[in-house]
Each structure stands twice: as C-alpha cells, then as structure tokens.
Amino acid sequence: MERITDLTFLNTFAGGNKDKMKKYISMFLQLCPNSLTNMKTSLESENYDGLRAAAHALKPQISYMGIKAAEPLIKALEHHASTKTELDKLPGMLTEFDGLCRKAMEELAAEIA
Amino acid sequence: MNQIQTIFIVDDDPMQAMMLQDYLSKYSTISIHVFGSGEECLKNMGLNPQIIFLDYNFDLVGKDAMDGLDILKEVKKLAPDTEVVMFSGQDKIEVAVNTMKYGAYDYIVKNESAFHRSENVIFNIIKRLKLTQEAKLYKRLTMLLGIAFLAMIVLIAILYSKGAISSNPGWY
C-alpha cells in the first residue's frame, strides 16, 4: 500500500534524531484528532469562522508531517470557510480530508511504535 | 549571538512553538521563553526580550484573545526597540504589509522553510544591532572630539587674553 506521509522534512529538521522525531509525531497524533473534531463540529453548526480557524491552525502541521495529498484540501477548506463560498462542497472535502488524516495517523503511529 | 540574550516565541500552536524552540536551542546563550497567548507575552515583557516571534492568529485561545496585530502594537508601545517577527499560516501580501506598517521587523509564513528563515532574521537583527552600536560609538567619539576642540579654543583664548601667548610667538 502506498504511503501518504513523507517524513523527509521532519527527518532533516530533527537531524536524524529519532527521539525528536518521535516527540513531534506524538504531538501531532495528540493534536490532530482534536482539530478534526473541531472542524467537524464547526461545520455541523455552520460556524464557518470556527472551521477556518481550525483548518488554519492544522495547516502547518499537515505540511510538517508530509501529508502532501491533504495540503490542497486543507487550503481549500480554509479558503471556502473564510470566504463562505462553495459551502455545499465543504462536507465532502472535510470527509476526504478526515480520511487522509486518519490514514496518515495510522502510518505515523506505526512509525513510532 | 552575544547581542541577543532573550527571545520570546508567542504561539497558540504548541507544535509550531516547540519546533521553533528546538530549532533555536542550538544557540545555548539565548534564553527562549514560550507563551501561548499575547496576554502572557505582555505580562512578561519585564524579561526584556530583544526578539519576539509572534503568531498572527490566536483563534485557538478563544474569541476574546488579543490577535497578533493588537499584541504587536502593545509590544511596540512598551518596548519600541524589541524586534517583532510575525508568523502566520497566511501567505497574503496585504497581511504582511499591514504588520510591517505597525512596526513588525519581518513576516514569516509557517511552512517548511520558516525555521531557517527565523534563523536568518536573527542574524539580520544582530547585524543591525551591531551597526546601531557602531553608529552610537562614532557619534560619541565625534562629540568628544568636538568638545576637546572647543576646550582647546577656549584655552587658547584665555591664554591669549592674559598675554601668556601672543600672535607673534617669536619663532622666527
């Protein structure tokens, strides 16, 4: 199965230090589920500012964990929530984004196991 | 790095703050303080930070939290010499220009190159501090030379008026 996370940046950033990488990955695994829940509850309650804020906060972490396929999605989610445009597309985008994050979290959890 | 003793990192994203702190921790002479909100940062301004890396958005802290721009304005009021470097996930030029208008030293987009850019910003600030210190030193030296020259003129005038020296010293 093809990997969806690319840890090249994180590895370079940590200077190959496995403990440091483990620390960053553990933090992501701790923060990401909360962010996804915030995004979902915000969308359900049509709180688009909340959705934009949660997406905005999670965006750099997605980049650091090398989840390339999720980057355009989170940018689009932030943009559409901010401009309140194409709102009908948001649930589908969020479902796809959530799926990618769950898969990435599985990979990352295996990485530090 | 000797010119920089204290740096603040102000960000409500614990991962971003921790990664930047780790990245800058190679400079062991610098004391790095991390704060999760602008309010905490302002409370600790007594620690005299020379540089503050400040997040632009504090959405995660709560709706009543000060945003990055408000904190920047307060910092500049309290400590005009402290350099503030804004951090944001937004790469909109108008946001960057706006922060510069209120006195931010630089604007860094949170991405993979953000950490390296932060380091470069510190080097640039150190260069600027050195130039400022040199300019102050030259200003002081010029003033001292001016005072010495003036004192010499006054001394000559006094000696001349008392006849201790004349316009014809009789050297030839």
pLDDT digits (tens, 9 = 90+) for A42-76: 999 999 999 999 999 999 999 999 999 999 999 99
Q: How far is B136 from chain A (nearest CA, A)?
A: 39
pLDDT reported for residue A65: 97
Chain B residues within an 8 Å CB radius of A56: 57, 59, 89-90
Give B13's contacts in chain A (Cβ within 8 Å). 57, 60-61
- What is the average pLDDT value for chain A, to the nearest integer? 95
Q: Would you call B99 an interface residue with chain A, using a CB distance cutoff of 8 Å?
A: no
Q: What kind of architecture, by CATH, is found in domain A8-112?
A: Up-down Bundle (1.20)
**Chain A residues within an 8 Å CB radius of B118:** none
Share above pLDDT 70 across residues of chain B, in percent, rounded to a whole number: 93
Cα A49 to Cα A55: distance, rounded to the nearest angstrom: 10
* Gap from B44 CA to chain A (nearest CA, Å): 25
Q: Which of residues 101-160 of B touch A (CB under 8 A)?
A: 110-112, 114-115
Residue with tokens 């400040």: B54
Q: Please, what are the domains in chain B?
A: 6-132 (3.40.50.2300)
A97 part of contact set with chain B, CB < 8 Å: no
> Which residues of chain B neighbour A28 with C-beta distances below 8 Å?
15
Does the beta-carbon distance from A13 to B23 stay under 8 Å? yes
Each domain of chain A, given as residue ranges in start order, spans 8-112
Residue ranges of chain B with per-residue pLDDT less than 50: none
Q: What is the 3-state secondary structure (H, E, C) of B79-116?
A: CCCCEEEEEECCCCHHHHHHHHHCCCCEEEECCCCHHH
Contact, B117 vs A88, CB < 8 A?
no
ipTM here: 0.90
pLDDT of residue B66: 85
